[in-house]
Amino acid sequence: MKKSGAVAGRSSSEHARRFPIRFDRWYAILSTALLLFPSRSFVEVGTDMVRVEMGWGFRARFPPTAIVRAGPLGREAISRGVHGFFGRWLVNGSGDDIVAIDLEPPQPARVTGFPVRLRRLMVSVDDPAALVAALG
């Protein structure tokens, strides 16, 4: 039986496009040892919801209408993992190919299970140009 639409809070897999979070080889090994699996780290863009997950470390869901700007960060990050403050969160497995997504109003997210507010998400992905295009 074909699904008729999206479940509340989830993007419709029928219309969603998934972008893996980019991991440097050395960090993929380290993060896997910490049970932060690259295979469970992605940005999923659906018609009604954007979902971002980095294993147990980060989860966010927000409507595409909350995106006010999306584009290349324009600089490399030294650190890897999930970190931030004051609504600005870096979610990356690599120091390059980072897309910055500005949100208004701030959206809810969870970092290691704790609730945070998300005004700017910076995320490393395998194909940053395609992600920016999908976010439109």
pLDDT in tens, 3-17: 334 434 444 556 799
pLDDT (tens digit, 9 = 90+) per residue, 27-37? 999 999 999 99
With 60 as the cut, is the pLDDT of residue 1 above it? Answer: no
pLDDT at res. 109: 98
What are the residue boundaries of the structural domains of the chain, listed by start? Answer: 17-135
Lowest mean pLDDT among 9-13, 85-89, 109-113, 131-135: 9-13
DSSP 113: T
**What region does 20 belong to: left with phi over 0, alpha with psi -120 to 50, or beta?**
beta
- Could you tell me how many residues make up the chain? 136
- Residue 80 to residue 24: CA distance in whole angstroms: 9
Each residue of 122-135: pLDDT tens digit?
Answer: 999 999 999 999 99
Mean predicted confidence (pLDDT) in 87-116: 96
Which pLDDT does position 75 carry in this prediction?
Answer: 80
